[in-house]
Amino acid sequence: MFLEQVRTQEQKDAVKYIIENYHSYVPTNASVGRRIDWLIYEHDGFGARPVGMIGIGSSVYPPPKDILIEMSLSMEQYREIFNSIANNWRFCMIKSIPNAGTQILKQLRTLAPIAWKQKYDDDLKILITFVAGGNNGAVYLADNWKIIGKTSGLPDHKSSSMKWDNAEQLKEKFVKPTGENQKLILFKDIRTKRERKKSLV
């Protein structure tokens, strides 16, 4: 498997097409905040066509409490390291390829910190993702990601990002969780063993 970072408009159009036509439960290309995508190929030879895409973007805010618990952070500390956390916002394949998932996620863990540093000048330390649509996150678990909890669940029309809203806007948008559309929260610390001995903040 081969990952190619998306830079051109043609590549962006390919990503949009893949998501809108093949993502099983969130077929939208829209995102908020930072974003880096890769097209996925079975090989890097001449004439290869994309078989999927994977992307990372800004983390979530406000964060589910399970993320704060896993990282042993207060809300204020989470804000301090917000730009060192990325959300694997989409992972979408056009077709099923045996063992492709673990190969792709392994490459993502290698490529993402480099691309994040080059584009945003921040050190990427943590990857998170949210899995819904009846999926159990098996591809992530095979790559040793950790299930750390579930989201509280909101109705579809309230499941929008609030990461850039101020206190007043958050108050207006707040709705009590209903348990609908719950998502598994998966977590991956991509720091080296030496780096993990140090505090995140």
Whole-angstrom CA distances from 65 to 6, 19, 77, 79, 180 are 32, 29, 13, 13, 17
Which alpha helices (H) appear in the chain, and where do they start and end? Answer: 9-22, 65-71, 75-80, 100-120, 138-141, 167-173, 193-196
User: According to the model, what pLDDT value does residue 170 have?
Assistant: 47
User: According to the model, what pLDDT value does residue 176 have?
Assistant: 47
> What is the value of pTM for the model shown?
0.85
Q: What is the rounded (10 degree) CA torsion for 29, 23, 149, 56?
A: -40
- The three-state secondary structure class of 105 is helix
Give me the residues of the chain with pLDDT under 70, please: 153-181
- What is the Cβ-side half-sphere exposure of residue 168, based on CA atoms within 13 angstroms? 0
| CA-based nearest residue to 144, from 104, 106, 196 | 106
User: According to the model, what pLDDT value does residue 167 have?
Assistant: 56
User: All domains of the chain, ordered by start, with CATH?
Assistant: 2-199 (3.40.630.30)
Q: What do you get for the CA distance between the two ends of the chain, in Å?
A: 35
User: According to the model, what pLDDT value does residue 140 have?
Assistant: 97
- Residue-wise pLDDT for 154-189, tens only, equals 555 444 454 545 556 544 544 444 455 689 999 999
